[in-house]
Structure 1
Amino acid sequence: MRAAPAVRVLVAAVLAAGALSACAADEDGLQYATDYSNHEPLSVVGYPTSDSLQVTQKLVWRLADGRVDELESLAADPDGAKAEVEKTAQNWIQAFRKGAGGKVTADFYDEGSVRQFVVVYFHDTAQVKGFSVRLTGSTGEGGWRVDMREPDPKEAAVAPEWVPKTPGGLGSKTPR
């Protein structure tokens, strides 16, 4: 039995859409694998989700590579505060690029179902940086992103006062 022309067109459209989706997923996976092989592995303390870990890893890679645009793309609200996010990305790269190119440990605080505070330790430069990662969108459909609202260079380069000098110093629990 031969399929009607409309059915053949519908099947072709579905297959083409699936192939394009697979290509996009493969491209993302290839980019991640390339980035992973080109950078020092991130050491981890605490309990990240796979997604909070991935956005943190990408943030460290973008810092190390000095990629302002790609760092901005990780922002939780890149369009709503474009100038603030751009300035923050520039500040973070200026302050942490050298350290991000070496050994880095990320300490993930508290549970990470929708938000997590992360402290990264740049071992080569003895710098420490804290930031929040969170799900974006009303139902999380925007994925995990980084809060980037530090347009003041001094604020951008400073860790919160409560952060311990070494990873795991508080047992990955924020002080109450």
Structure 2
Amino acid sequence: MKRTSRWRPVLGATALAIGALSACSDRPGEEEIRYAEDYGGHAPLAVVGYPSVGSLRMAQEIVWRTADGDTEALASFAAPGVVNSAPAKTAENWIAAFGKGARGQVTAEFYDEASKRQMVVLYFHDTGQIKELSLRSGMGGEDRDWYVYMDQPDMADATAVRPSIPKTPGARGSKSTS
């Protein structure tokens, strides 16, 4: 007499249901696929400090778009409704000034906590340049949670480094530079 398990039909149905649910919920969207391709196609970003998931992603994408020379995509990260914002011209300036450095090794230092805003300092190792970014979350946009202030239509403003910004990552322990 052949012995069969009474659990086999239940286990089979459970596995089928889990597989079907997984296929629906784990399928990456276009945004996730693009991000994964970008991540694999660019030099890794070194990190100092304590970014949030959103501020880290925004800093990475700013560096990637700068490295790629993609003015339109970089300008699309601009914080909405900011007085004196000039995203297209600021993006052009950032790409012209930091494009070469963004294609090499970059360290991003994240200052203070990141619940609503975070200052990030980018260190472009190949060129020795430094760029300060001001990121902001929750500004009511449809496509992302984090934005960057892009109000530097003058090249001198775009490349200026405040004296309080450390010359090397980690020099202040990721505490406020104000």
Q: Is the shorter-chain TM-score for this pair beyond 0.5, marking a shared fold?
A: yes
* 1:6 counterpart residue number: none
1:173 partner letter: K
Shift of 1:136: 3.3
Q: How big is each residue's C-alpha offset from its partner over 1:130-163, in whole Å with a ceiling of 9 and x where there is no partner?
A: 0111113269995101111001111101222211
CA 1:139 to 1:83, structure 2 compared with 1: closer, same or farther past 3 Å?
Answer: closer
How well do the aligned residues superpose, as a CA RMSD in angstroms?
2.5
Q: Is the deviation greater in 141-150 or in 28-37?
A: 141-150
| 1:76 counterpart = 2:79 | yes
Q: Is the deviation greater in 151-160 or in 57-66?
A: 151-160
* 2:19 counterpart residue number: none
CA 1:140 to 1:108, structure 2 compared with 1: closer, same or farther past 3 Å?
Answer: farther
CA 1:28 to 1:142, structure 2 compared with 1: closer, same or farther past 3 Å?
Answer: closer
CA 1:122 to 1:134, structure 2 compared with 1: closer, same or farther past 3 Å?
Answer: same
4+ runs deviating over 3 angstroms: 79-83, 138-142
| 1:134 counterpart = 2:131 | no
C-alpha contact (below 8 Å) 2:109/2:122 kept by paired residues: yes
CA 1:140 to 1:118, structure 2 compared with 1: closer, same or farther past 3 Å?
Answer: farther
* 1:112 counterpart residue number: 114
CA 1:114 to 1:139, structure 2 compared with 1: closer, same or farther past 3 Å?
Answer: farther
2:37 partner letter: T
CA 1:113 to 1:94, structure 2 compared with 1: closer, same or farther past 3 Å?
Answer: same
CA 1:90 to 1:141, structure 2 compared with 1: closer, same or farther past 3 Å?
Answer: closer
Q: Which has the larger radius of gyration?
A: 2
Count how many residue pairs are aligned between Structure 1 and Structure 2: 155
CA 1:128 to 1:167, structure 2 compared with 1: closer, same or farther past 3 Å?
Answer: same
* 2:125 counterpart residue number: 123
Measured in 1, the distance between the counterparts of 2:26 and 2:60 equals 23
* 1:33 counterpart residue number: 36
TM-score (normalizing by structure 2): 0.80
1:19-168 equivalences under 5 Å are 26-77=29-80, 84-137=86-139, 143-168=145-170
SS of the residue 1:167 aligns to: coil
Measured in 1, the distance between the counterparts of 2:73 and 2:171 equals 31
SS of the residue 1:149 aligns to: coil
C-alpha contact (below 8 Å) 2:97/2:159 kept by paired residues: yes
Q: How big is each residue's C-alpha offset from its partner over 1:20-55, in whole Å with a ceiling of 9 and x where there is no partner?
A: x987x5211110011011100000000000000000
Measured in 2, the distance between the counterparts of 1:28 and 1:73 equals 15
